[in-house]
Chains A and B, each alone.
Chain A
Amino acid sequence: ELKVEQNPLFLSMQEGKNYTIYCNYSTTSDRLYWYRQDPGKSLESLFVLLSNGAVKQEGRLMASLDTKARLSTLHITAAVHDLSATYFCAVDVKAAGNKLTFGGGTRVLVKP
């Protein structure tokens, strides 16, 4: 059974500082996704990572994938209040019918 673990579950950030969220998964993955969810809202797609060594960046967020270590990271640079949200990683495995398995989520609160 595929397991996806995120840590930390909660991250209190200070504005201007850098932080990293980790996502570990237990079996070979075809794709890894990062999503953002604001309270009461659905998911907003941030990144899709397809291959080992893949790195994608958008604004203050950067995601990377190490398929050998089965690890993805979401790095936040110089955190700002607008980044407060819950972040989820999810893994897609073809052999499992392309179902997404989600991590537990990381709740991020950026304080001034």
Chain B
Amino acid sequence: GAVVSQHPSWVICKSGTSVKIECRSLDFQATTMFWYRQFPKKSLMLMATSNEGSKATYEQGVEKDKFLINHASLTLSTLTVTSAHPEDSSFYICSARPGNSNQPQHFGDGTRLSIL
């Protein structure tokens, strides 16, 4: 089955640090990847849609300068949380859809980000 690898699974860093999270589709090509954020005991909130070779599409209220998304290849998208602060602490989950838009999304294992 389709596998999406997300790395790191857990990161703790100091306030002001930038953190990069990687999302890789291991056995398929993904022209579209999605980044979600989840607060404790809440649902998933879509942050942005990442399209290979073009700029990401951000959802309303998501700061594009704070959450930088790069989708440089058909198997890799990265989310960089720039100058992270404690309020950025959250669980971040990526998903990838195989090339055909009729295919369902496959989710990564998530990254727990804690900013001290």
Cβ of B44 and Cβ of A102 under 8 Å apart? Answer: yes
Bound Cα distance from A8 to B88, whole angstroms? 29
Contact partner, A48, options B49, B95, B104, B109, Cβ 8 Å: B104
Q: Interface majority SS on A: helix, strand, loop or mixed?
A: strand
Subset of 20 A-B contacts with CB under 8 Å? A31-B104, A40-B112, A41-B110, A42-B93, A42-B107, A42-B108, A42-B110, A43-B93, A43-B107, A48-B104, A90-B44, A92-B104, A94-B101, A97-B49, A99-B49, A100-B46, A100-B95, A102-B45, A104-B43, A105-B42
Cβ of A103 and Cβ of B101 under 8 Å apart? Answer: no
Interface centre among B43, B46, B93, B104 (most CB of A within 10 A): B43
A25 lies within 8 A of chain B by Cβ? no
Q: Which residue of A lies closest to B93 (CB)?
A: A42
Bound Cα distance from A48 to B105, whole angstroms? 11
Bound Cα distance from A102 to B76, whole angstroms? 24
B residues lining the A interface (CB < 8 Å): 6, 32, 34, 41-46, 49, 57, 93, 95, 97, 101, 104-110, 112
Interface centre among B44, B109, B112 (most CB of A within 10 A): B44
A45 lies within 8 A of chain B by Cβ? yes
Q: How many residues of A contact B (CB 8 A)?
A: 22
The answer to whether A98 and B97 touch (CB under 8 A), given A45-B104, A48-B104, A103-B43, is: yes
